[in-house]
Amino acid sequence: MLLWVGLGNPGPEYARQRHNIGFMALDAIAKRHGLSPWRKRFKGEVAEGSVGGVKLLALKPMTFMNASGDAVQQAASFLKIRPADIWAFHDELDLAPGKVRVKKGGGTAGHNGLRDMQRALATPEFGRVRLGIGHPGHKDRVTGHVLGNFAKVDTWVEPLLDAVADAAPLLAGGKPEDFMTRVALLTQEPAPR
């Protein structure tokens, strides 16, 4: 079984913030692949089912970003899921808006949700689906940027979430490179005529 974790903050006031794109991605995947309705469990909300024939638990920690690891550790421990079978979907400042990169392990790049997952799991060796939100240009503007809502001009958000949901079976099937390629193909701008 896989554990896919969306990183974000609970509550309607945070729902459209850039920092919550991990929650948005899991919502899109759950809807597209007919996962169970969300219910409260493991200090979060979970939806269960299968993606591409692979059993999956989707988890949105309801502990706020900085304590995401507690929910992840509870779910992983109870279900005996290894860190290698856990993927975190999160916002990434260092990627252009709408770009996606996946990797296993590595640092946290200052992301508090990843840092807390690493603390709780006692290892950095879990997967990351890095969803680009772009950088505001100066470090003094980072907090306002990530905690700001997506704007009307951010027309790339819905196509990206659709592409992630469409390509999810490739990630579930252990083909992260193919997943990235599929998302990139689905989100590329059509060539001008």
- Report the C-alpha gap between 25 and 5 in whole angstroms: 10
- Report the C-alpha gap between 10 and 20 in whole angstroms: 9
- Report the C-alpha gap between 48 and 37 in whole angstroms: 8
Of residues 69, 72, 114, the one with CA closest to residue 93: 114
Q: Judge residue 12's burial from the number of C-beta atoms within 10 Å of its C-beta, 0-12 exposed, 13-18 middle, 19 or more buried.
A: exposed
Of residues 69, 59, 72, the one with CA closest to residue 22: 59
Active site residues: 19
- Report the C-alpha gap between 84 and 191 in whole angstroms: 38
